[in-house]
Structure 1
């Protein structure tokens, strides 16, 4: 809204400046010694004609074009334009006859007197058409932005239930084992839920996302203990700097590793690494898995990865590279992401 108001003010200011220069042109480029003439036209007559041309421009641009062009009564547009331009001729002639009779006798000057009326109409028409095109392009961009925003909201709404489903599955496992780690796991889940509810409506600091990842990994360590070799290397807060990132963008890769890299191999191991090279984030997750199709976990497999791929395409076009190497029994993802 503020952007539109600012653009409108700039447009009005530009119109005022252009017409001021046109109306005052004789007094800018000429001198009193020759009556501020522009060619054979007296300066005052040039300025009065400029006012008439301004009227033609705005009557067409603000009244005739928006009300008749491409409207129900479009056929009235042409006679209305003809009448608008034609009426300027006797008006100019009357002004010349009463106040500038020397111009009346100069027949060579007539083309500079009457021709501009037609030229101003053409300029006004071009202005209207270009303005229409710019408005249509702006509306299209606004619609695309709204569509993008709606799609992102939908994708973000998918992330939380999918994440919660996986975490609750982990807690069920701890409960079945009657593990003493269930209480700290629930407290950790509470912190994760707080982050999901209050901090994921917009981009977050990379350091926050790293903290969130570490909390999730800690939750998994509580669940699996020494059963799974979990190797983690995360960038420090200093390396993360003040860069921002789409929230919960990296977690689906980690979820996927724990979901498919545990319980189906004799010695499960998961490697997670996040490093920063300047403003470029490099995130790698490696895990082993069972390629047996009968070992598929559940019908929800792949929701997280499909979601994050779509969000990357929407939010980081031309700024990311996602490599997924599926070479049984290894599954290896590498995400390279340029941050701001």
Structure 2
């Protein structure tokens, strides 16, 4: 069996360091926030080329608090894409604001910047681009539009740790960047976790209060807050993993390049990394008009795959109240019907990659 993600192999490769770090937290009894989490905030913010990092319990919480810190609330509109994990829209909903969708670019699968201005109304307060699959969105036009219309830019970088746009790390390009440390992410915890990064000290201050019941100091509740704090054990685990993220990212990029070579004559639509981007390949997302049959064939050969994502958010029953219908976002709908993610992780051997590629070629022939 070739798994889609092999978390066990990664753990075994750093087991001694992880175990030592966890035991250190257990001995310190700093189970919530604490020194390890504070150190992670500094290290991860520095990695993202940002001034501040706020460690949280999930990436969804990062999006939620980023929106709240930026003043987004009931009656506001936030422009984003429907081709994303549902958390992007859920976080907007949590604030009382409304998601306004625009379609994706058919090559990069990130927000089509040519459609943003037409979606702006007097209620628009923010643009929320998603760096989908590890590919940075086209940030310069987004920032230009935001400046001209006095809008906030919040980056959903949940799948894009270490990705770069024209030499700049994602997350620090807009006003606030939001990351997930879900176990399968490029930088994953051994449980839930997230981080918001920013260069704005006021946003940092607000998010720190909001994650901890709105407290400015203990029992002084300035804001209506939440319990979104990161566990000390997750902070310690992520600090160990931070030492390897660049090596792991380069391994992902090399794996994707190998798939590109092996599948070049397949006739499938392969992922395209823009020349000015560092695409970090959270997933290797190819497209096939016979996606389901291809997936079944690979499964029969004991090769696990994923689909990211089979139903765009605008067609999900839970967000039918937004008023969208089939056909409103054709590029998102096409990708959703064709996308298949192949196994890709730093520990995936060249032999396994070759086996996967041969299985793909055999299935489509």
Answer whether TM exceeds 0.5 for this pair.
no
Larger radius of gyration: 1
TM superposition score normalised by structure 2: 0.22
Determine which structure has greater relative contact order: mean sequence separation of CA pairs < 8 Å that are 6+ residues apart, divided by chain length: 2
TM superposition score normalised by structure 1: 0.23
Higher helix share: 1
